[in-house]
Structure 1
């Protein structure tokens, strides 16, 4: 399993969501993407998008930075 990293702390929605979607679509099955963000609107939108198949998402907030751990799963 490979891991990818995306720092979106300088981006705001809708660009943050667009960049996150673009990176996530390139993931292979069971590959993970770690996303950093501190924009609350972007975090909410990304968490909503990645909570739908084929993705799973976990969030961790620490000192004004939220880390989203996105994994692409097999939907079959």
Structure 2
């Protein structure tokens, strides 16, 4: 599983880096994305929910771990 650590990034850079990362996923592939900034987490979750991804979010200390799966190719 690929992983992306954005704990030292804030928006909008974290959102842009996440978009670059998830677009490379194959359908059915899962990645782990780490963020610590709550605003970045909210923006990333909002983007993923509106697009072809499913996710689960786990809080670990002050960080968030997002497990993201690409469900289909975007239109």
Calculate the TM-score normalised by the size of structure 2: 0.91
Instruction: Count the aligned residue pairs.
Output: 73
- The reply on whether 1:39 has 2:42 as its aligned counterpart is no
Residue segments in structure 2 that go unaligned for 5+ positions in a row: none
Contact 1:53–1:73 (CA under 8 A) maintained in structure 2:
no
1:53 alignment partner in structure 2: 51
TM-score by length of 1: 0.90
In 1, Cα distance between equivalents of 2:32 and 2:19: 12
Question: Where does residue 5 of structure 2 map in the other structure?
Answer: 7
Distance 1:71 1:51 in 2: 11
Q: Given the alignment of the two structures, is residue 21 of structure 1 paired with residue 15 of structure 2, yes or no? A: no
Unaligned runs of 5+ in 1: none
